[in-house]
Amino acid sequence: MLKKLASAAVALTMTTGLSGPAFAQDLDGTLRIISDMSNPAPREVMEGLAADFDAMHPNLTVELDIVDREAWKSQIRNALSANPPDVVNWYAANRMAPYVDSGLFMDITDWWDAGDYEGLESVKGALTMDGKQWGIPYTYYQWGVYYREDIFNELGLEEPETFEQEIANCQAILDSGRKCYTIGTKFLWTAGGWFDYLNMRTNGFDHHMALARGELSWTEDEGVRQTFENWRTLIDMGAFVDDHQTYSWQEALPFMVNGEAAAYLMGNFVVPQLRDAGLGDDQIDFYQFPAINPDVAMGEDAPTDTFHVASGAQNVEAARAFLQYVTSAEVQTEINGPDGLGQLPVNANASVADDEFIQQGFTMLSENATGGIAQFFDRDFPAEMASIGMEGLQEFMVFPDNLDDILARLENARQRIYD
Partner 1 sequence: MFPTPIEKRSRAAQITYQSLVPLALIMWLLPLIAVALFSIRPGVDFSNGNYWGVPSSFELFTNYGKVFFESDMPRYLWNSVLITVPTVIGAVALSCMTGFALGIYRFRGNLLIFFMFIAGNFVPFQILMVPVRDLTVDAGLYDTKLGLVLFHVAFQTGFCTLFMRNFIRALPYELIEAARVEGVKEWRIFWYIVLPLMKPAIAALSVLIFTFIWNDYFWAVVLTQGPDAQPVTAGITSFNSQFVAQYHLMSAGSIVAALPPVLMFFLMQRHFIAGLTLGAVK
Partner 2 sequence: MTIATDPETQGWFQRNRMIITPLLFLLPGVAFFAVYVISPIFQSFYISTFEWNGLGSLSEQGEFVGMQNYSELMADRNFEVSLWNNVKWLALYLLAIPGGLFIALFLNQTIRGIRVYKSLFFFPFVISQVVVGLVFSWFYLPNVGLLNVVLGWFGTEVNILGNPDLATYGIIAAGLWPQTAYCMILYLTGLNAVDPEQIEAARLDGARGRHMLWHVILPQLRPATFIAFVVTIIGALRSFDLISVMTNGGPFGSTRVLSFYMFEKALSEYGFRMGYGSAIAVILFLIMLIFIGYFLWSMWRDERDARR
Residues that bind partner 2 (CB under 8 A): 73-74, 77, 80-81, 98-99, 101-104, 186-188, 242-243, 245-246, 378, 383-384, 386-387, 391-392, 394-395, 398, 409, 416
Select from 243-251, 304-312, 314-322, 354-362 the region that touches partner 1 (CB under 8 A): 243-251
Select from 14-22, 99-107, 250-258, 372-380 the region that touches partner 1 (CB under 8 A): 250-258
Q: Does 220 bind partner 1 (CB under 8 A)?
A: no
What does DSSP assign to residue 105?
A: B
Q: Provide the minimum distance between the beta carbon of 270 and partner 1 in the complex, in angstroms, as a whole number.
A: 13
- The residue (of 36 and 116) whose beta carbon lies closer to partner 2 is 36
- The residue (of 329 and 385) whose beta carbon lies closer to partner 2 is 385
Are 287 and 357 in contact by the 8 Å Cβ rule? The answer is no
CA 98, CA 209: separation in Å to the nearest integer? Answer: 19
- x/- mask, partner 1, residues 21-60, rule CB under 8 A, reads -----------------x----------------------
Q: Provide the minimum distance between the beta carbon of 66 and partner 1 in the complex, in angstroms, as a whole number.
A: 8
Chosen from partner 1, partner 2, none, partner binding at 29 (C-beta under 5 to 8 Å by type)? none
Alpha-carbon torsion (146, 148, 149, 154), positive or negative: negative
- Antiparallel, parallel or unpaired: β 304-309 and 87-91: antiparallel
What contacts 306, CB < 8 A, 6 or more positions away? 89, 90, 91, 92, 96, 127, 135, 136, 137, 138
Among 65, 121, 158, 164, binds partner 1 (CB under 8 A): 65
**Residue 56, Cα to own-chain centre: how many angstroms?**
30
Q: Provide the minimum distance between the beta carbon of 210 and partner 1 in the complex, in angstroms, as a whole number.
A: 35
Chosen from partner 1, partner 2, none, partner binding at 250 (C-beta under 5 to 8 Å by type)? partner 1
- The residue (of 140 and 381) whose beta carbon lies closer to partner 2 is 381
CA 311, CA 132: separation in Å to the nearest integer? Answer: 14
- The residue (of 300 and 378) whose beta carbon lies closer to partner 2 is 378
Return the H-helix or E-strand segment holding 284: strand 284-287
CA 45, CA 54: separation in Å to the nearest integer? Answer: 14
Chosen from partner 2, partner 1, none, partner binding at 82 (C-beta under 5 to 8 Å by type)? partner 1
Alpha-carbon torsion (48, 365, 253, 70), positive or negative: positive
CA proximity to 336, closest of 321, 346, 348: 346
Phi first, then psi, for residue 278 (nearest 5°) are: 105, 5
Are 147 and 265 in contact by the 8 Å Cβ rule? The answer is no
- x/- mask, partner 1, residues 72-101, rule CB under 8 A, reads x--x--xx-xxx------------------
CA 240, CA 247: separation in Å to the nearest integer? Answer: 13
Chosen from partner 1, partner 2, none, partner binding at 103 (C-beta under 5 to 8 Å by type)? partner 2
Helices and strands per DSSP (H, E), number in the chain: 19, 13
- The residue (of 162 and 250) whose beta carbon lies closer to partner 1 is 250
CA 146, CA 7: separation in Å to the nearest integer? Answer: 38
Chosen from partner 1, partner 2, none, partner binding at 261 (C-beta under 5 to 8 Å by type)? none
Q: Provide the minimum distance between the beta carbon of 281 and partner 2 in the complex, in angstroms, as a whole number.
A: 29
Chosen from partner 2, partner 1, none, partner binding at 339 (C-beta under 5 to 8 Å by type)? none
Helix 40-56 with 316-327: angle, nearest 10 deg? 120
Summarize as ranges the residues that interact with partner 1 (CB under 8 A).
38, 65-72, 75, 78-79, 81-83, 248, 250-251, 253-254, 257-258, 277
